Amino acid sequence: MLPTTIAIWAVVTIILIALSIHRSIFIMREQDTIFVSQGERSTKNEYATIMQRLRRLEFILKIFSFASGALTLLMAVMWLYERLYG
């Protein structure tokens, strides 16, 4: 059972790392603040869309971070159980 858990943890953690890299590249390309004149309302809408994508990405990152941490804890408990009672 432990090797299966390790394989699942590895997949979840690799996805987490890939999403983290994607987020950092995504953030590098975008500015923290923008100044929009009255004639550039489309830029404001684009920025709002980008911020919504970023919020969604961060929510997904939190899910994968929690899953990776929970699987790490589960593996530690399983390993300890096998050592004590196996």
Q: What is the pLDDT of residue 35?
A: 62
Question: Which of these, 70, 71, 66, lies nearest to 5 by C-alpha position?
Answer: 71
Q: What is the pLDDT of residue 31?
A: 61
| Residue numbers of the domain that contains 70 | 2-85
Q: What pLDDT, in 10s, does the model give residues 21-48?
A: 999 888 887 665 666 666 666 777 787 8
Q: Which residue has the higher pLDDT, 29 or 10?
A: 10
Q: Which residue has the higher pLDDT, 43 or 6?
A: 6
Mean pLDDT estimate for the chain? 87
Q: What's the total number of domains in the chain? A: 1
